[in-house]
Amino acid sequence: MILEVKDFNVTYVNKHKRVYAVKNVNFNIDKGDSLGLVGESGSGKSTLAMALLRLLSKKSTEISGTANFLGRDLVNLSEEELKEIRWKEISVVFQKSMNSLSPVHRIRTQVEDIYRVHNPKAAKEEIRDRFTYLLKLVNLSDRVYNLYPHELSGGMLQRVSIAISLLNNPKLLIMDEATTALDVVTQGQILDEVVKMEKEMDMTRIMITHDMSVVATSCNKVAVMYAGEMMEMGYVKEVLKNPLHPYTEGLIASFPSLKGKKEKLKSIEGFLPDLSKRYEGCIFAPRCSKVMDICKKKPAEVKMDNGTVVRCHLYGGETDEE
């Protein structure tokens, strides 16, 4: 197992209120898995990833629970220990990570600086050989190595960002809406290349997205988040074909058919709840079409025979009182 997250909570704090952004999240990722983390904007997906990487400000956030990464709890590691892990064992590609590249320096210069953070004595030839190999993996010419960022298109820059994230052969790659800003053709090409890279580099990935088609084409597992809570998690082929939670059903119904069927798209009525408030029952109940009296109590996680884990009273189980 690469990563095991238990009872994970993230709360934003200021002088006036507390915002419960991630609440009691549990999941694990095995070696070689590709987990798609989906949900509406504001569901806590990016907050979860940033908290796991400890990139959130200590002054304005509180984190509790455990995140066991290869035997080390990310929550309790010192800053020095985290620096050794970030980019070397866990790397991340953000939605607009291409904008982080300096416009006045060649790709070569920036890659050399990044690589030497963990390999200070590395020779230029070693770095060039490593990065040109990665450029080929993301379907770019090795000539890119000597270009300036402004000489590349947005799609090419995003590929460069992905290649940079793989410099140290990380065991876990987190992609946070990494292809969202790209056109559909470029997005599809990059996703195909990412899947190939995983097989070649024996890599594990978390793909954060709101696009079900991205999960369907590039992930083997999916986790559905709503208002900071994990609603459903399982294998893509099970969850997308037979969604159990009403929220998952709603998300799938709001996207065009993955099989090309002409079906009317449906929206989920209502809005995300105010996360500065505590809710006693199921947090999705106010928007749920299958709401019941028992939904006034918080549902516990239920593991189904096919391995899917769902948090919903429709499938029995005890209540999960806080």
Residue-range domains of the chain with CATH: 3-89+168-315 (3.40.50.300), 96-167 (no CATH)
Whole-model pTM: value is: 0.90
Please answer whether residues 221 and 233 qualify as being in contact, where contact means their C-beta atoms are separated by less than 8 angstroms: yes
Please answer whether residues 258 and 322 qualify as being in contact, where contact means their C-beta atoms are separated by less than 8 angstroms: no
Sequence-ordered list of residues with C-beta below 8 angstroms from that of 143, at least 6 positions apart, any chain: none
Tens digit of pLDDT for each residue in 220-237? 999 999 999 999 999 999
Q: Around 29, how many Cα atoms within 13 Å sit in the side-chain half-sphere?
A: 28
Segment 67-77 mean pLDDT: 95
Residue-level length of the chain:
322
Tens digit of pLDDT for each residue in 96-138? 777 788 999 999 999 999 999 999 999 999 999 999 999 998 8
At 258 the pLDDT is: 58
What is the DSSP secondary-structure string of 282-294?
Answer: -TTGGG-TT--GG
Report the candidate in 78, 75, 160 with the shortest Cα–Cα distance to residue 114.
Answer: 160
Segment 84-107 mean pLDDT: 87
Segment 151-164 mean pLDDT: 90
Instruction: Enter the tokens of residue 200.
Output: 């070649």
Q: Is 89 exposed, middle or buried (0-12, 13-18, 19+ CB in 10 A)?
A: middle
Query: Does residue 266 surpass a pLDDT of 90?
Result: no
Query: Does residue 259 surpass a pLDDT of 80?
Result: no
